[in-house]
Amino acid sequence: MAKDFSSRDENYAQWYNDLVFKADMAENSAVRGCMVIKPYGYAIWEKMQAALDKKFKDTGHVNAYFPLFIPKSFFSKEASHVEGFAKECAVVTHYRLKNDPDGKGVIVDESAKLEEELIVRPTSETIIWDTYRTWIKSYRDLPLLINQWANVVRWEMRTRLFLRTAEFLWQEGHTAHATSEEAVEETERMLEVYADFAENWMALPVLRGTKSPNERFAGAIETYCIEALMQDGKALQAGTSHFLGQNFAKAFEVQYLSKENKLEYVWATSWGVSTRLIGALIMAHSDDNGLVLPPKLAPTQVVIIPIYKTDDQLALISEKAEQIMKNLQDKGISVKYDKRDTYKPGWKFNEYEFKGVPVRLVMGPRDLENGTVEVSRRDTLEKAVYQLSDIETKIEHLLINIQDNLYQKALDFRESKTSKADSWDEFVDLLDNKGGFIYAHWDGTPETEQRIKEETKATIRCIPLNSKLDEGTCILTGRPSKGRVVFARAY
């Protein structure tokens, strides 16, 4: 199945695209820059959704839904916000079509022009804060902890399935608080929720930090982020959490009556992750044989494949296989028993290996006689023969081992691709020949950051949280630096 599949060393970008298409995860649509997420890809997103949604609710958040369309005038109320998103906005100007009198299909009905144009949401701060103005009146209404699962549109010129598309799926949290301290605490709490999900569900180690002013979310006072490293040495932003201060509250006149009977503006946060996490999952773990999925996010965690020649043999194998399947399902493990006679076992082996199913069990007549089963693990491609006694507990432990192994492998890779640079020449050499995360000194100015980006295509991925004081000199300007920041080329 993988014979016509590019390798990572030959062409990493092509390897990624081949994998997405051949693993049946997504495909391009008739709309430029948009994707069709196929059932297998969407099943991974559903697993992500379920885990994250529980985390949100466990931290006191509730789900709501806000309109897809945002009045254009809302964007002008927060200057830096509109500036940040202006070039990506899709705009609705009319609400009706009509038949072309020349018989060339349909045309826009110019008599149906909207009085005010509508923006197809690139993010929802403006429409949500206009709504919060009517919801928040008193300190008793705070904190307001809302999340929504939605689609957004950002008119990207260069697109890649899952990583960057004109329309994508995400969740966006929007919260309101009585004090700055509460809002900052919320921002940091949600960053840790994302980090925990990345590390314990995606098996993806991440750096926690804040963004530089140049990379900060439009309209935010501070942007917190988690950054992951992909196998080609490029970074990928895996989640962001923003402290918005009172910017949106003031723009939309969201005030509350305090306990002291004074009108105060509320403090805000927003935070989100998107379907680009699926891209991160692919690029962090997969290999030249196809997808490698961490068990916690694999749509199918275990597949059982029978080897037989006669219907009688299949019946005996099926009886045992279905019993194992039920016992595994009782443990919360997702299992598929593939007894289709339209494909040979070898084809099935390749299919499930390519789709990243963590564990494959193979049973034949001899296995039944010996009370054994052949077990293959996708992460290492190792095979072993297990005794059938208490096989369900053994598989449960194996899945935990695979999850841990994938995390450790990704962590070891990140550490091997993490360097320090103390000079410009060393910095450029590391970027060109090693890649990965580079800890280097920066003088703290947006101008220097921009020059480094223009000359090397590397950006400041984050200013690490809780970083130790490490004074030095900027790699580009030689001016004083208070500490090292993390640079990388990125997606």
* pLDDT over 90 (residue 104): no
Q: Does the pLDDT at position 29 exceed 50?
A: yes
Q: Does one domain contain both 157 and 239?
A: yes
Q: Based on the fold, state whether residues 469 and 374 are members of the same structural domain.
A: no
Residues 269 and 393 in one domain: no
First to last CA, the chain: 29
**Candidate from 2-6, 49-53, 140-144 with smallest mean pLDDT:** 2-6
Q: Do 189 and 335 reside in the same domain of the chain?
A: no
In a domain, 428, yes or no: yes
Would 459 be classed as within a structural domain?
A: yes
Question: Do 382 and 443 sit in the same domain of this protein?
Answer: no
For the beta carbon of residue 181, count every other beta carbon within 10 angstroms.
10
Q: Which domain holds residue 457?
A: 418-488
Q: Which residue has the tokens 């920066």?
A: 442
Assess whether 242 and 358 both reside in one domain: no
Mean pLDDT of the region 326-334: 98
Contacts of 304 (CB under 8 A, 6+ apart): 321, 324, 325, 335, 336, 337, 338, 360, 361, 362, 363
Count of beta carbons in the 10 Å neighbourhood of residue 219: 24
pLDDT of residue 433: 97
Q: In this structure, is residue 101 part of a structural domain?
A: no
Q: Is the pLDDT of residue 4 over 80?
A: no
Any domain includes 409: no
Mean pLDDT of 333-337: 98
Quick one: 365 and 423 in the same domain?
A: no
Check whether residue 281 and residue 309 sit in a common domain: no
- Domain final residue pick, 398, 430, 449: 398
Q: Over the stretch 42-58, which tens digit does the pLDDT of each residue have?
A: 999 999 999 999 999 99
Per-residue pLDDT tens digits for 388-405: 999 999 999 999 999 999
Q: Of 370, 398, 426, at which residue does a domain stop?
A: 398
Residues 143-152: what's their mean pLDDT?
A: 98
| CATH number, domain with residue 433 | 3.30.110.30
Please state the domain count of the chain: 3
Mean pLDDT of 1-22: 87
User: What are the tens digits of pLDDT across the range 54-96?
Assistant: 999 999 999 999 999 999 999 889 878 878 898 999 999 999 9
Are residues 360 and 431 both part of a single domain? Answer: no
DSSP characters over 33-67: T-EEEPHHHHHHHHHHHHHHHHHHHHTT-EE----
pLDDT tens readout for residues 150-175: 999 999 888 999 999 999 999 999 99
Band of the pLDDT at 2, cuts 50, 70, 90? very low
Name the percent of the chain lying above pLDDT 70: 99
Q: Is 182 contained in some domain?
A: yes
Percent of the chain with pLDDT over 90: 94
Let me know if residue 293 belongs to a domain. no
In whole angstroms, give the CA distance from residue 173 to residue 184. Answer: 14
Q: What average pLDDT does range 260-270 have in this prediction?
A: 98
pLDDT band (50, 70, 90) for residue 3 = low
Query: What pLDDT is stored for residue 79 in this prediction?
Result: 77
CATH number where 130 lies:
3.30.930.10
Q: Does some domain include residue 295?
A: no
Residues 230 and 264 in one domain: yes
- Between 113 and 466, whose confidence is greater? 113
Confidence of residue 1 (pLDDT cuts 50, 70, 90): very low
Instruction: Collapse the DSSP code of 108 into the 3-class scheme (helix H, G, I; strand E, B; otherwise coil) and give the result.
Output: strand
Three-state secondary structure readout of the chain: CCCCCCCCCCCHHHHHHHHHHHCCCEEECCCCCCEEECHHHHHHHHHHHHHHHHHHHHCCCEECCCCCEEEHHHHCCCHHHHHHHHHHCEEEEECCEEECCCCCCEEECHHHEEEEEEEECCCCHHHHHHHHHHHCCEHHHCCEEEEEEEEEECCCCCCECCCECCEEEEEEEEEEECCHHHHHHHHHHHHHHHHHHHHHCCCCCCEEEECCHHHCCCCCCEEEEEEEECCCCCEEEEEEEEEEECHHHHHCCCEEECCCCCEEECEEEEEEEECHHHHHHHHHHCECCECCCCHHHCCCCEEEEECCCCHHHHHHHHHHHHHHHHHHHHCCCCEEECCCCCCCHHHHHHHHHHCCCCEEEEECHHHHHHCEEEEEECCCCCEEEEECCCHHHHHHHHHHHHHHHHHHHHHHHHHHCEEEECCHHHHHHHHHHCCCEEEEECCCCHHHHHHHHHHHCCEEEEEECCCCCCCEECCCCCCEECCEEEEECEC
- What are the backbone angles phi and psi of residue 22, rounded to the nearest 5°? -75, -25
pLDDT for 376 beyond 70: yes
Residues 269 and 323 in one domain: no
Residue (of 247, 184, 240, 233) closest to 209 by Cα position: 240
> Does 6 score more than 70 pLDDT?
yes
In a shared domain, residues 373 and 473: no
- Domain membership of residue 404 (yes or no) is no
